[in-house]
C-alpha cells in the first residue's frame, strides 16, 4: 500500500487525508508543467477511493497506514475544503485560480493577489 501525507502519531502512523500532499502537487504542476505531479495526484485519488471511502459514501482518515482495514470513523473537515479542492485544481485548466492572481492560506482558502 502506498501512503501519502503520513504523520507519525505514536504508536501509530496516521493519514488524516490532509491537503498537504495534494496542495504540493498542485503548485508544482502549475509551476513546472511536469506531468509527474498530475500522475501523483491521480495516484492519491485512487488511494483515497480504495482505502478511505466508507460504506456510507464519505471518506475517513486512516488510523494506521501499516495495517489494512484501519479506517477511522471521522471525515476531517479539511478533506473537503482542502484536499478535494487541490485535487480538483490539479486537473482543471490553468485559467482556474491562476497562481499569479490568487494565493492560498494554510487551510486552502483562495484570496486574490492585491496589486497597486
Q: Is 115 a residue whose pLDDT tops 80?
A: yes
End-to-end CA distance of the chain: 49
Phi, psi of 97 (to 5 degrees): 50, 65
Using a cut of 0.85, tell me whether the model's pTM lies above it. no
Contacts 24+ apart (CB under 8 A), 6-12: 6/65, 12/63, 12/64, 12/66
Residue 60 has pLDDT above 70, yes or no: yes
Tell me: pLDDT of 12 over 50. no
Q: Which of 24-28, 87-91, 106-110 has the lowest mean pLDDT?
A: 106-110
Report the pLDDT value the prediction gives residue 1, as an integer from 0 to 100: 43
Report whether 13 contacts 65 (CB < 8 A).
yes
Q: Quote the pLDDT of residue 81.
A: 87
Stretch 67-94: mean pLDDT, rounded? 88
Window from 42-51, 65-74, 104-113 with minimum mean pLDDT: 65-74
Extents of the domains making up the chain: 7-112
Amino acid at each position: 500500500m502506498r501512503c501519502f501525507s503520513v504523520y507519525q502519531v505514536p504508536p501509530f502512523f496516521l493519514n488524516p487525508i490532509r491537503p498537504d500532499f495534494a496542495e504540493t502537487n498542485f503548485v508544482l504542476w502549475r509551476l513546472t508543467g511536469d506531468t509527474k505531479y498530475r500522475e501523483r495526484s491521480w495516484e492519491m485519488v485512487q488511494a483515497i477511493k480504495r482505502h478511505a471511502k466508507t460504506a456510507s459514501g464519505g471518506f475517513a482518515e486512516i488510523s494506521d497506514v501499516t495495517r489494512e482495514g484501519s479506517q477511522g470513523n471521522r471525515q476531517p473537515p479539511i478533506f473537503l475544503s482542502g484536499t478535494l479542492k487541490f485535487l480538483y485544481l490539479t486537473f482543471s485548466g490553468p485559467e482556474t485560480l491562476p497562481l499569479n492572481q490568487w494565493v492560498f492560506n494554510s487551510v486552502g482558502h483562495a484570496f486574490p493577489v492585491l496589486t497597486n
